Amino acid sequence: MKTSRRALLGAIGLAGLSGTALTGCFGDSDSTGSSSSRSERIRIACLSAPRSSLSPFSDDAYKLIAWSAAECLTVLDEEGTPQPNLATSWEQRSDTEWVFTLRDGVSFHDGTAFTAETAANSLTRAAEASPLPRVLTGVGLSASAEDGRLVVTTASPDPLLPNRMSSPSLCLLATAAYGADATDPIGYGTGAFMIAGLNGNASASLDRYEDYWGEKALLAGIDATFVPDGTARASALRTGEADIAEAVPIGQLGGIDEELIHEVRTSRTTSLYLNTASGPFADPAVRAAARAAIDAQTLIDKVFEGHADLPEGLFGPALGWAAQARGRVGFDDLLSSRAGAATDLNGQAVTLATYSDRSELPELAVQVQQMLESAGFTVTQDVREYQYMNKEILDGGFDAVILSRAMTIDTGDPVSTLASDFGTEGSFNIPLLKDSAVDQLIAAAGVIEPGEDRQDAIARAEAGVLARDAVIPLLHERSLQGEGSGVAECARDPQERLLVTSRTNVTR
């Protein structure tokens, strides 16, 4: 594929973008110079702490991208279309082989050169990681260097490969980042900011990378403090201790100047995931009873105070094509195979889990518990920080889990999310769903070129998942991002990837 003029223009714009909160938690910034002297550091109250020491093969990779510390071969524009980044163009040489031309003049933060060999090494390490990054589920990816270009091969045709190469889990790091037992991105990315240090689950610091290939950062650096408590994040924004606060809780909006809050409709859906492998929800009729018990409008009104959208399925209004595709495939008819709801639950005992990192989720759990108990269930809750229950959730340790999930975060396209979350071999299959018909629907969508046919196939796969009641969508979220009055050019990204870019600045 030759790079179009539109793609080149997108690359120019995107290249510029690449690039417990109490008193004393946030480091003092250098305010000795003006913003034009590039001396300021920005302070972020982050939603969550790293779960795997910033390993690129975990969800920590999204922090690397949000901070503009690491980069991928491609980036996605607002429509989810891949644009050049560390790769300047690409072409499909055969059904299973893609060739990427790489950007010249790029260096890693350790001073080594970015080459086809280093890119192939990063992708190979990702393909060999255990557990496998979600974005590579079922792909069978391999990579090699050929005459200064990168060759990427897949086990079967993959029309979405350029999108896939934008996934944070496939960010490219210097060879020295990859050890025998672990991958350490600190000081080994290519982004506008270089990670200078990670203080466990407390904080991270980044400095401007002076030899960055693109537009140099206006900020001198980033001081990120990990603040899982939403009230503390809001307090840090309100008192000026933080310049940016991620995911400001709904309940804290009343105490914050409304001009500091920016609402962004996202592809994130909060759902109730039901354990289909064991326990009471192994029975489809009991799962159907749980679905019938949920009143989504009440959840939105009581917990989100209207800052959310009614569930339209797994994919909300941020994906404009989803409703049209459902109409074309007869979505409601496809759901008609759902099991009927059990009527005599006789106090069926279930464990309901969620995490406190997003402050609305425990409140949702209270409301969902009341709804389930009104339907005849007996419910016990388990609420902790996500990092302390992640393994239990994935291992099926609970009957039901309330989880907030960005449905297109890996590729800008939901097929990889469907595969990882509901495929038999999916690495994030919380409901432990094993259904060959669902696997076939997801696989069918995955081989179709981007366009209406692919969207229709995605809608059929969506219906297939929902017809099993493995997951009950509760609402479609909007991101509430807090920014201090002196913050400029902070990214407000519907894809929830970018946050601080080369152009971000702050004045005090």
| SS3 track for 214-249 | CCCCCCCEEEEEECCCHHHHHHHHHHCCCCEECCCC
Residue 20 has pLDDT above 50, yes or no: no
So what's the pLDDT on residue 33?
Answer: 38
Confidence of residue 26 (pLDDT cuts 50, 70, 90): low
Min mean pLDDT across 138-142, 174-178, 275-279, 469-473 is at 138-142
Q: How far apart are CA 188 and CA 299, in angstroms?
A: 44
Q: What pLDDT, in 10s, does the model give residues 455-477?
A: 999 999 999 999 999 999 999 99
Tokens 């991620």 locate to: 246
So what's the pLDDT on residue 438?
Answer: 98
Q: What pLDDT, in 10s, does the model give residues 48-85?
A: 999 999 999 999 999 999 999 999 999 998 778 899 99
Options 3.40.190.10, 3.40.50.12280, 3.40.630.30, 3.10.105.10; CATH of 265-478: 3.10.105.10
Min mean pLDDT across 33-42, 357-366, 455-464 is at 33-42
Q: Please report, as a single letter, which amino acid is at residue 295.
A: D
Q: How far apart are CA 11 and CA 161, in angstroms?
A: 18
Nearest to 246 by CA among 505, 482, 492: 482
Are residues 449 and 158 in contact, defined by beta-carbon separation less than 8 angstroms?
Answer: no
So what's the pLDDT on residue 465?
Answer: 98
DSSP per-residue string spanning 380-410: EEEEE-GGGTHHHHHTT-SSEEEEEEETTTT
So what's the pLDDT on residue 313?
Answer: 96
Tokens 């006789």 locate to: 346
What are the boundaries of each domain within the chain? 5-89+164-245+485-506, 265-478
Query: Three-state DSSP class for 291?
Result: helix
Are residues 427 and 131 in contact, defined by beta-carbon separation less than 8 angstroms?
Answer: yes
Residue 160 has pLDDT above 80, yes or no: yes
Confidence of residue 492 (pLDDT cuts 50, 70, 90): very high
Q: How far apart are CA 306 and CA 478, in angstroms?
A: 10
Residue 37 has pLDDT above 70, yes or no: no
Residue 32 has pLDDT above 60, yes or no: no
Residue 346 has pLDDT above 70, yes or no: yes
Confidence of residue 30 (pLDDT cuts 50, 70, 90): very low
Question: 5-89+164-245+485-506 belongs to which homologous superfamily?
Answer: Periplasmic binding protein-like II (3.40.190.10)
So what's the pLDDT on residue 350?
Answer: 98
Q: What pLDDT, in 10s, does the model give residues 181-232?
A: 999 999 999 999 999 999 999 999 999 999 999 999 999 999 999 999 999 9
Q: How far apart are CA 145 and CA 220, in angstroms?
A: 35
Q: What is the mean pLDDT of the chain?
A: 91
Confidence of residue 146 (pLDDT cuts 50, 70, 90): very high
Strands (E), 407-493: 471-483, 487-488
Tokens 């939901």 locate to: 414
Residue 116 has pLDDT above 50, yes or no: yes
So what's the pLDDT on residue 357?
Answer: 86
Integer CA distances (angstroms), 33 to 38, 39, 219, 221, in order: 8, 6, 11, 14
So what's the pLDDT on residue 327?
Answer: 97
Tokens 């209270």 locate to: 366
So what's the pLDDT on residue 29?
Answer: 44
Are residues 133 and 57 in contact, defined by beta-carbon separation less than 8 angstroms?
Answer: yes
Confidence of residue 27 (pLDDT cuts 50, 70, 90): low
Tokens 């493995």 locate to: 470
Q: What pLDDT, in 10s, does the model give residues 298-322?
A: 999 999 999 999 999 999 998 889 9
Q: How far apart are CA 125 and CA 144, in angstroms?
A: 12
Residue 193: is it exposed, middle or buried by C-beta count within 10 angstroms (0-12/13-18/19+)?
Answer: buried
